[in-house]
Chains A and B, each alone.
Chain A
């Protein structure tokens, strides 16, 4: 029963994206006899709690192989993800890392914001028998493959399309750029920091690629046929985009959902997501409280990277740092997913399963 004695194939370090989710989870633990806590009451206790293992996860591969993992919650406050809280957040992530090592997880993924606060520096953590990955290779692979699939369904020819990447200088943004650079009509690259954007743009210069870059989204958006959102900002302004533009929103907090609500002419889906055909389960079963997807067995690309590495007994920092993701590694990781029955998630957004313009709900 001592959690230190169990051996786990993988662990996921994560955080919640709203106080609502945290409060509803805590209130589930208080059921059926205790009064519900308000968000304000939850905020007074849970930011103080050190990272801890919340539930175990069993995942089954299409090959029949099963792996066991654990979810470690960092209790990073969803409204405190900005740079001014960096020290506190790094401290929480480091405590979660120590816990993952203590419980003996063989491969650990740093989900969502937890790898961003460490700037992807997971390679240095890979000592002993616990290894760490950011999970960004599979996230990027899911994004680009889903964009190809959705474009095909919409009858877009990517080879003639303008693909805008918002967050182009980030780890996932650079990977998307590398993947699409010889496959699309034109790349449109956007990020706020001018010198970093210049640096990334320079890397494609001279490669016979059509591209434009700008720190101002409104200078690029009107030309885009496809938009990939991989920034870490919410409420990115989509004003001026073409009617019918295809949008893959893969950033957190959700980059474009709010803007999209008033923009029903376009097709938006949440990107970077996969689905485990063999299924997975939680113990204790908190799926009702923590599972928010419209179809079963959907999971984040970054968490599934740890699952795939565990299924392959490949305990290594597959994704680390920034700008190290190769197209070759994305393809390899994606084909390992296929082997284990882990596919692209059905297209969905915050309103549920996507109905692409003029079509029935798309299900794969």
Chain B
């Protein structure tokens, strides 16, 4: 698909692309809010500064998507309290309030970023043109966050492997369950509250995508991230097998 030119797109294509932008903007704003909340709760000045920096980076991503959508007449819908995004945020806040920096990093930088990097990359290849470039550039930046956090989490695992893996397991089931329901073939909890009309999952074929591949690639990157951190494969296979299908 060439550079996004709304006039050249069918209504179905425009609708699904609009929903993709709505989800991307909402996701980036959730990321921004997560890091802003984290900055508020941590004492270490360096960690605090890093959290603010990350919040700003997510804000820039959201702005990039919003700017593009506006310029191209996409009527996006932003809803931070939507069912899935809102629940992810609640999970994040529950750890942020306990000043659990590592747990926050796991949710934002491993779980959410794995999904963002994989999905943005697939969307970029499907859209092509300027929209594709935008998604690809942001995916690259999110990838850096993912890699950076892997280094920190690997070190945390080495300090106390058993406690780390147990904590990770708890967060996995609290948070990845929501993301798995969100990306299931059918909406397991009703309308997500972000898409304009019906769930966009059924319309992705209009731009050459399908939810199974998007979700599969996202889970693959998540599994790869767990490997990079050093979570034993015999654990992660059980974690993944026990997610909603």
Which residues of A are in contact with B by a Cβ distance under 8 Å?
1-4, 26, 29-30, 34, 37, 41, 44-45, 47-50, 52-56, 72-73, 99, 284
Contacts and interface: CB of A to CB of B under 8 A. Distances in A.
Interface stretch (B4-12, B57-65, B154-162): B154-162
A148 B240 CA distance: 46
Contact of A4 (B220, B230, B236, B240): B230
Q: Sorted from nearest, which 6 A-B pairs have the closest CB atoms? A: A52-B233, A1-B161, A48-B216, A53-B233, A29-B241, A2-B230
Nearest to A6: B232
B25 interface: no
Interface in B207-245: 212, 215-217, 219-220, 223-224, 227, 230-234, 236-238, 240-242, 245
A251 B22 CA distance: 52
A2 B161 CA distance: 7
B1 to A, nearest CB: 24
A330 B23 CA distance: 61
A34 B242 contact: yes
A56 B220 CA distance: 22
Contacts, number: 69
Interface residues of B, number: 27
Contacts of A48: 216-217, 219-220
Interface of B: 157-158, 161-162, 165, 185, 212, 215-217, 219-220, 223-224, 227, 230-234, 236-238, 240-242, 245
B185 A45 contact: no
Given A29-B238, A49-B237, 17 more contacts: A2-B157, A2-B161, A2-B230, A29-B241, A30-B241, A30-B242, A37-B245, A44-B212, A44-B215, A45-B215, A48-B217, A48-B219, A49-B219, A49-B220, A50-B224, A52-B234, A55-B234
A236 B212 CA distance: 35
A37 B233 CA distance: 21
A56 B234 CA distance: 9
